[in-house]
Structure 1
Amino acid sequence: MAYTNNTVILLGNVGKDPEIRQFQDGNLQATFSLATQNSYKAKDSDEWIESTDWHTIKANGNAAKLIADYVRKGHRLEVVGQLKNNNYEKNGVNHYGYFVQVQKVIFIESIKDKPQSLPSNNIQDNLPVNIGEEDTPF
C-alpha cells in the first residue's frame, strides 16, 4: 500500500467574520476566508510583487466553537487541516472547488478580550459528512 499525506498549513489573515451554522443536533460549523500572501521579484525588475490567495476554511465541533468565540475579521491565524474537494452538480452544471477542513487553529496574535458572540444560522439538516479528526471513529 502506498503512503499518502494530505496536510495543509496556512498562515494568513481572516477576511471577514466567520459564518457560524448550528445544526439540529446542536453541532456547529464555522466557515471563513483566509488570505495568504506571496511575494516575488519580477524577472526583469527589482520591484517586488505581492499576490494574495483566498482560501475557504471550514471547521466542525470544538474547533468551530473556538472560532465562533474568538476569531474575527483581520485576525492572524495558522490553520492546519486537510484539503477537501467541493465538487457538485447543480442544474446540470458542474461546479469545482476546494476548502480546508480544520484540524487545528493556532492564534498568532494574543486576544485581549473575548469578542461578542457571533450569531449562528440554524440549519434543519444534520451535520455534513466532513467531520473533524477528534470525531473520527477509528
Structure 2
Amino acid sequence: MAGLNKVMLIGNLGRDPEIRYTQQGLAVVNFPLATTESWTDKNTGERQDKTEWHRIKVFGKQAETCEKYLSKGRQIYLEGRLQTNSWEKEGQTHYTTEIVVSNFMFLGSRDGGGQSGPGGSDYQRGGYQNQPNSGGGGGYTPNRPAPNSDNFQGPSQPGMPDGPDQSIPDDDIPF
C-alpha cells in the first residue's frame, strides 16, 4: 500500500532565513514558521489564539530565493513533507521534526508585514516548485494564484462534481 506524506501551511516567518551550503555546494535554508488558529470562546465570548511553530527546511535554488526575498514576519504558503531526524547527546536520543519544502508562494506585501488584504488578494504572484528530474533546483511559475486568493480554485478530484449544477447524493448523515 502506498503512503502519503504531504504538508500545506500558510504562516509567518519567525525570523530571517539562515542560509548554509553543504560540502557539495547545495544551498540549505532554515527558518521557523508560525501558524495561528483563532476562535471565540463560547463561555466568555473572548477571542482566543493558538500558535504552532514549525521548523522549515528549503534546498537548492529555492533556498537562495527564500534567503534573498523572505524576512521575519513575511507571510508564505508552502507545501512539503515531514521529516524526522535524531541525534545522540550525552547518552540520550533527541528527535526533531521539520518540513522539507517542495514548493512555495510568497503572500502578503513585499515590505514585510505579511498580512494579506481582504480576501487575500494582496499577495505577490509567483510560485516556486521543485521540478522532477531537475536536480532539486526550483522552477518559477509566474502568475499562479495564491491559495487564499478570491480567484483560487483547487484542482478537482476524480469522481467529485466539478460545478454547482452537479450534486453529491444525500445519504441522510446529519453533518
SS in 2 for 1:67: helix
CA distance in 2, matches of 1:135, 1:39: 39
In structure 2, the partner of 1:56 is: 55
2:83 aligns to what? 84
Taking the aligned partners of 2:109 and 2:43, their CA distance within structure 1 comes to 41
Partner Cα distance (2:29, 2:77) in 1? 16
Cα-Cα RMSD: 2.0
Q: Residue 39 of structure 2 corresponds to which residue in structure 1?
A: 40
Q: Which has the larger radius of gyration?
A: 2
**Amino acid corresponding to residue 70 of structure 1 in structure 2:** Y
Letter in 2 for 1:111: R
Give the structure-1-normalised TM-score: 0.75
Structure 2: gaps of 5 or more residues: 112-130, 137-175
Partner of 1:66: 65
Q: How far does the alpha carbon of each residue in 1:12-66 deviate from its partner, in whole angstroms, 9 at most, with x for none?
A: 0011111110223221100001000011333533222101111110011121111
Q: Paired residue for 2:27?
A: 28
Greater relative contact order (CA < 8 Å, ≥ 6 in sequence): 1
Does 2:15 match 1:16? Answer: yes
Cα pair distance change 1:86/1:43, threshold 3 Å: farther
* Partner secondary structure for residue 97 of structure 1: strand
State the secondary structure of the residue aligned to 1:4.
coil
What residue number does 1:135 align with? Answer: 135
1:5 and 2:4 are equivalent in the alignment: yes
- Please give the TM-score of this superposition, normalised by the length of structure 2: 0.60
- Paired with 2:22 and 2:9, the residues of 1 have a C-alpha distance of 27
Q: Structure 1 segments of 4 or more deviating over 4 A?
A: none
Count matched residues.
116
Matched letter for residue 63 of structure 1:
Q
SS, match of residue 32 in structure 2? strand
- Percent identity between matched residues is 35
Larger relative strand fraction: 1
Specify every segment of 5 or more residues in structure 1 that has no aligned partner in the other structure, as ranges.
Answer: 113-131
